[in-house]
A and B are shown apart, each in its own frame.
Chain A
Amino acid sequence: MDASDSPVFVDFFPDWGHRLPLWDGGTLPPLSDALLGDLRSWVKTWQTVLDPVFEVRWPDYETGMAWVGEGLRLVAAVEAELGPGYVIKYDFDDFYSPERPTRERR
């Protein structure tokens, strides 16, 4: 990337009606099939397991944390495939992190 070039901003979030979490205005170079498959699977989990029509409630803490962790891995993987010149912005870790379970009183 030339130093004079502006970075390309890519938003990364799951949404209704979208199979991929990448919002780039259709400007991204192609990503690998393996990564695209993982991205689709990650969005599908949001749409079907979390299914946040009314509330953000994962079936359990571990499932939610695994989804957030996978999202962070995917952000890094997308950045690695795109190379320099792209800035990925995300907020899913704030929006959809599971609530930490409270300890039961004895």
Chain B
Amino acid sequence: MNVRMAIRGVVGVVASLALAAGGAGPAVAQSSGAVPSGSEIRVGATYEESTLIGVTGDLVSPYLFDPIDSFQCEVIHNADHMIVEMDTWPITTPSGGYLWSGGDTDLRCGTEQTSGWWHIQSRHQKSTAAHPNSWETIRDSASAVLGYETYFSWDDFMWMAVQDMFTYPMETSYEGNDKVCISNTFSIWKDDVPVYTFWVNTIASRNNLLIISAYPSDIMYLSDCYD
């Protein structure tokens, strides 16, 4: 169980817990009490384990950053600040070899030049002419399916995807120097139909149990994890 996430009352607690626990039904990222109607828009690797991000205008809360994280990362630039920690399971290579040991894995503020949230923000938040797929591409796609601008920010989608990648790794590779690449498909579901599907990739340090980078493939139907 992701203790740090559970403590964050200001964020989408239900979604976080359901994702972290791998619950049987789709996660619901909204305040309790609301009974949505109409088409449900979800994101995730599978419909069954997907996260509800909106229904006909219902509000949801971003869940990655809280005010403390924002202060630590964006104001005082504390590279070591841990934004979030997730419990991960061991992952093996297709031939059964060791790839990832499992254990508590951190996303830290990092820096633009190194790794972590700042690196992902710097290189993979926004698309460019040379880099057409980014986390904003996924956010825009989700907004298009919702019919309004989603209240989740780019890094909420990033973190949902990273958790999915560690829970349902589809393609993996060892990158050398204790870095691994883990990827899967990340879909935006309208009811139970995937409207958009992206390959998303995480690079993690297995000796530091650290998220180094995470990004959607520019060629959206290809994983970037290959030997």
Contacts and interface: CB of A to CB of B under 8 A. Distances in A.
A11 B132 CA distance: 11
A30 interface: no
Interface of A: 8-11, 13, 15-18, 23-26, 44, 47-48, 51-56, 89, 95-96
Contacts of B213: 15-17
A99 B116 CA distance: 22
Contact of A48 (B115, B176, B203): B176
Interface of B: 79, 112-115, 119, 123, 128-132, 175-177, 179, 181, 201, 203, 205, 208, 210, 212-213, 215, 218-219, 224-225
A53 B201 contact: no
Contacts of A23: 128, 130-131, 218
B132 A25 contact: yes
A18 B224 contact: yes
A29 to B, nearest CB: 15
Given A10-B130, A23-B218, A53-B212, A96 B113 contact: yes
A51 B177 CA distance: 8
Among A10, A15, A16, A95, which residue has the most Cβ atoms of chain B within 10 A? A16
